[in-house]
Each structure stands twice: as C-alpha cells, then as structure tokens.
C-alpha cells in the first residue's frame, strides 16, 4: 500500500469449538486472530464462542451480522470431524459466496486441502471461515488480508476504487 494509510475495518471473531465453549481448551486461535487484526490497525468489536454444530453457528453468525458493516472471522469447525459444521452453518446464513477468498486461504498451506471453510456475505458483512489451529487461522487470514478492506468496502459503496 506504499505510504497510504491502511484502511481500517471493524472485525468480529467467532470461535467454534466444543472444548473452548465448555472451558476445557484454551482459545489460542482467537487470541492469535485478535492480535493479528489489531496489528493491522483494525478494530475488534466483539469476540464470541459457540459450541460446534450447524445450527449453533448459523444462529450466532446471524446475530453477529445484524446491523454490522465489517468482517466476521470464524475459527474452528472447518475440518472432517463429525461436529465440524462451521461451513454448513455459514452456508445457511450467507446470501452470496466469495469462493476466491476460500480458495486463496486453502492454497496457503498443504493442510489447507483439508479445510472445508467458506467465505461469503450477508448484508454488509463479510464472513470468512478459518481453521481452529493457531497457525492455520493466521496463515489463512494472511492469505487474503490485503483484499479484505476493499471487499468490506464494496459491500456498502460500490464506487470504492480498485486497489493498486
């Protein structure tokens, strides 16, 4: 971005994990995401935790996106485990998919091929699913972090100039 000031966006983080929700696992991926988002100069408006499950994820995402213009990052529930249903819950609430973001996040690491995470929009909110591992969620976020402010801006103002 050169000498131009970075675009600030509002961010909410949702951890999807039975272990974290029940207090038996530390929420390391959320902490890592929050630190990375703050280092980018963005504002963290809300941090929530929900147990795994399609309905749980859909319900919390719907609530988080209501009257919100910004980015929701989920962490956890994108793998092959029987309770890993973050993509299914996300699909229930988004209006439009953003497959390029999900594809870019999967390409960052060979283990990304095991992620079923998706990205999409609901109203003026962009949702991206990241893995539950501390390293994986940061790698996935960094794969798309350069375009996220522009994507969020387009949700409310389609005249936003394209980045160089």
Output the pLDDT for position 157: 78
Give the number of other CB atoms < 10 A from CB of residue 163.
12
Give the C-alpha separation, 161 to 65, whole Å.
Answer: 25
Share of the chain above pLDDT 90, in %: 87
The pTM of this model reads 0.93
Share of the chain above pLDDT 70, in %: 92
Output the pLDDT for position 1: 39
Output the pLDDT for position 162: 59
Q: What is the Cα 34 distance to its own chain's centre?
A: 11
Give the C-alpha separation, 118 to 36, whole Å.
Answer: 20
pLDDT digits (tens, 9 = 90+) for 31-81: 999 999 999 999 999 999 999 999 999 999 999 999 999 999 999 999 999
C-alpha to C-alpha distances, 125 to 89, 114, 119, 154, nearest whole angstrom: 15, 26, 11, 10
Domains and CATH numbers, the chain: 11-154 (3.40.980.10)
Output the pLDDT for position 111: 84
Whether pLDDT at 3 is above 70:
no
Whether pLDDT at 161 is above 70:
no
Output the pLDDT for position 2: 40
37-41: long-range contacts (C-beta < 8 A, 24 or more apart)?
Answer: 37/11, 37/13, 37/73, 37/141, 40/6, 40/145, 41/6, 41/8
Q: What is the Cα 4 distance to its own chain's centre?
A: 25
């Amino acid at each position: 971005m050169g000498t131009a000031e970075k675009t600030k966006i509002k961010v909410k983080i949702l951890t999807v994990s039975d272990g974290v929700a029940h207090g038996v696992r530390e929420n390391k991926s959320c902490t890592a995401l929050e630190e990375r988002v703050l280092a980018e100069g963005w504002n963290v408006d809300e941090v929530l935790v929900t147990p795994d499950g399609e309905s749980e994820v859909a319900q919390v995402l719907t609530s988080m996106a209501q009257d919100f213009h910004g980015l929701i990052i989920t962490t956890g529930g994108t793998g092959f485990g029987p309770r890993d249903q973050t993509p299914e819950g996300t699909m229930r609430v988004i209006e439009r998919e953003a497959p390029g973001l999900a594809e870019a996040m999967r390409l960052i690491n060979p283990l990304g091929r095991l992620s079923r995470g998706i990205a999409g929009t609901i109203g003026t909110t962009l949702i991206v699913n990241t893995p539950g591992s501390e390293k994986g969620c940061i790698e996935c976020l960094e794969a798309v972090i350069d375009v996220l402010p522009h994507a969020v801006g387009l949700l409310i103002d389609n005249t936003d100039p394209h980045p160089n």
